[in-house]
């Protein structure tokens, strides 16, 4: 099964699935073969079939934790009740962290967030150093609007283990992800008192100071920090320079990282810097109109009013996730297009057909370009999918999706506008930088929200929305996976 495992990593699942299926007729009692069959089907978004394969594997080898966990995971992704299956997997190993996180997600999906949070805290009391448990619990508490107490598990753990660097690092990173920069700066003083000098504390402090608007304090730290060790550190340094009006100083950093394999998150900032200084590369990067498609699909989609009702039922959170652009609304949890409701399966096929048409009309390949470099053969595949529901006054802050190749917005419901309404409330703005950077650049495109309308654009392109006064703006969004570079 080594080839099947490699296929999951390199994207050759179709060929590996064919190989596994030739082996199954003569190996129908091989639980591991059925497990790999399920994993390959899952990777190809054929979850109903994957569930059947995992059911067979679990029946043949009921004591295997990886099979039990995989079975529970694919059922949860499909939008079905997976609590019992995760409890079964937990019975095989009560302290397996990934299973406990999956059980928490299943309980949250079923509407029982209280039990999910209690079980996570119980486990953290036994193992205070379980970092992913703290991060998940903090996210759940934030989603349910528990206020400053969303980080209570970190405080509890540090009372028991005040000299544990990983706990301090995760706590501070969580506050920064949640945009609590002033609070992070206060906590840094406690961390230094407990740990003494630590390089990671300087790295986190410079981010917090810059994001909090302390230009001088961040500059002092940057003057003594070593050169950026990775693309993430480089991105934060570029954000700092752009925020405080030093676009020219970003150029050496950008030139070093944007063509590196791991430098995808720098492209949106290169766009800003190039536009600010009048560099022609800005037009090369984002100026071709074929990079954006606006497609009206209403006649090909399931009834939008029924689809809207289904989506509303999936919005269980009361506040946005960390690192999200949603303001005044919520985003669904999990991969929306992994679910097996017939309506969502139908929408998925319609939008993937539209994506294929968009890809076919893109400009000629360019090996230097983040959108035009990847190969384009084969059916498009998804890197993530979700729904966003904004209420009156809501908006998307400008943001990018650097883990995708092509991003999207599919409008399911939008506020009703009076015939004489000339405002652009609720419109999608493509090309406006993040407000936190304090940079005023005009949008390349302004798109009116219209039920059934799909907008496709490069994942590296800044995008956000204009707030609207009243009503509801309900969308489906997804990222198309980045193919391999030619």
Whether 148 maps to a domain, the answer reads no
Residue 409: give the domain boundaries: 290-480
Which residues, at least 6 apart from 38, have a Cβ–Cβ distance to it below 8 Å? Answer: 50, 51, 52, 53, 54, 57, 70, 71, 74
Chain center to CA of 320 = 12
Q: pLDDT by residue for the chain (486 residues), tens digit each?
A: 566 677 677 777 888 899 999 999 999 999 999 999 999 999 998 999 999 999 999 999 999 999 999 999 999 999 999 999 999 999 999 999 999 999 999 999 999 999 999 999 999 999 999 999 999 999 999 988 888 899 999 999 999 999 999 999 999 999 999 999 999 999 999 999 999 999 999 999 999 999 999 999 999 999 999 888 889 999 999 999 999 999 999 999 999 999 877 788 999 999 999 999 999 999 999 999 999 999 999 999 999 999 999 999 999 877 667 776 767 788 898 899 999 999 999 999 999 999 999 999 999 999 999 999 878 888 899 999 999 998 877 787 889 998 899 999 999 999 876 555 557 888 999 999 998 899 999 999 999 999 999 999 999 999 999 888 788 899 999 999 987 654
Task: Reduce the DSSP state of residue 171 to 3 states and report it.
Answer: helix
Whether 427 maps to a domain, the answer reads yes
Whether 315 maps to a domain, the answer reads yes
Whether 208 maps to a domain, the answer reads no
Cβ atoms of 104 and 119 closer than 8 Å: yes
Q: What is the token pair recorded at 405?
A: 């190749």
CA nearest to 432, candidates 465, 458, 455, 392: 465
Question: Any idea what DSSP says for residue 363?
Answer: P
* Total-model pTM: 0.92
Give the β-pairing of 382-396 and 406-413.
Answer: unpaired
- CATH number of the domain enclosing 403: 2.60.120.620
Question: Any idea what DSSP says for residue 376?
Answer: -
Whether 305 maps to a domain, the answer reads yes
Q: How many domains does the chain have?
A: 1
CA nearest to 480, candidates 357, 368, 395: 357
Whether 420 maps to a domain, the answer reads yes
């Amino acid at each position: 099964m080594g080839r099947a495992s490699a296929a999951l990593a390199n994207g050759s699942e179709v060929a590996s699935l064919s190989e596994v299926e030739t082996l199954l007729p003569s190996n129908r009692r091989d639980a591991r073969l059925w497990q790999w069959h399920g994993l390959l089907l899952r990777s190809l978004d054929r979850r109903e079939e994957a569930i059947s394969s995992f059911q067979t594997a679990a029946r043949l080898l009921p004591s295997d934790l990886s099979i039990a966990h995989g079975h529970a995971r694919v059922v949860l992704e499909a939008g079905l009740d997976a609590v019992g299956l995760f409890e079964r997997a937990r019975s095989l190993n009560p302290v397996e962290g990934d299973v406990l996180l999956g059980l928490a997600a299943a309980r949250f999906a079923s509407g029982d967030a209280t039990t999910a949070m209690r079980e996570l805290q119980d486990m953290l009391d036994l193992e205070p150093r379980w970092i992913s448990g703290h991060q998940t619990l903090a996210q759940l508490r934030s989603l349910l609007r528990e206020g400053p107490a969303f980080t209570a598990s970190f405080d509890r753990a540090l009372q028991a283990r005040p000299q544990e660097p990983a706990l301090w690092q995760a706590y501070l990173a969580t506050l920064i992800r949640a945009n609590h920069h002033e609070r992070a700066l206060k906590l840094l003083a406690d961390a230094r008192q407990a740990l003494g000098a630590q390089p990671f504390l300087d790295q986190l402090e410079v981010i917090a100071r810059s994001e909090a608007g302390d230009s001088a304090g961040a500059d002092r730290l940057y003057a003594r920090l070593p050169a950026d060790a990775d693309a993430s550190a480089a991105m934060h340094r570029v954000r700092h320079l752009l925020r405080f009006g030093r676009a020219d100083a970003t150029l050496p950093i950008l030139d070093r990282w944007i063509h590196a394999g791991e430098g995808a998150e720098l492209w949106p900032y290169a766009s800003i810097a190039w536009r600010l200084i009048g560099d022609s590369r800005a037009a090369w990067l984002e100026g071709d109109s074929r990079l954006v498609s606006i497609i009206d699909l209403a006649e090909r989609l399931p009834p939008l009013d029924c689809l809207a009702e289904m989506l509303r039922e999936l919005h269980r959170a009361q506040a946005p996730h960390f690192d999200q652009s949603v303001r005044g609304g919520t985003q669904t949890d999990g991969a929306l297009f992994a679910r097996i409701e017939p309506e969502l399966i139908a929408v998925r096929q319609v939008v993937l057909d539209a994506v294929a048409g968009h890809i076919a009309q893109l400009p000629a390949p360019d090996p230097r370009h983040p959108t035009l470099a990847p190969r384009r053969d084969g059916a498009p595949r998804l890197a993530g999918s979700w729904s966003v529901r904004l209420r009156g006054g809501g908006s998307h802050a400008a943001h990018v999706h650097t883990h995708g190749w092509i991003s999207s917005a599919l409008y399911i419901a939008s506020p009703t506008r009076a015939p004489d309404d000339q405002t652009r409330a609720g419109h999608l703005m493509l090309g406006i930088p993040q407000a936190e950077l304090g940079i005023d650049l005009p949008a390349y495109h302004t798109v009116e929200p219209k039920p059934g309308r799909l907008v496709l654009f490069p994942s590296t392109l800044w995008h956000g929305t204009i707030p609207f006064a009243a009503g509801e703006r309900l969308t489906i969004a997804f990222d198309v996976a980045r193919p391999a570079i030619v």
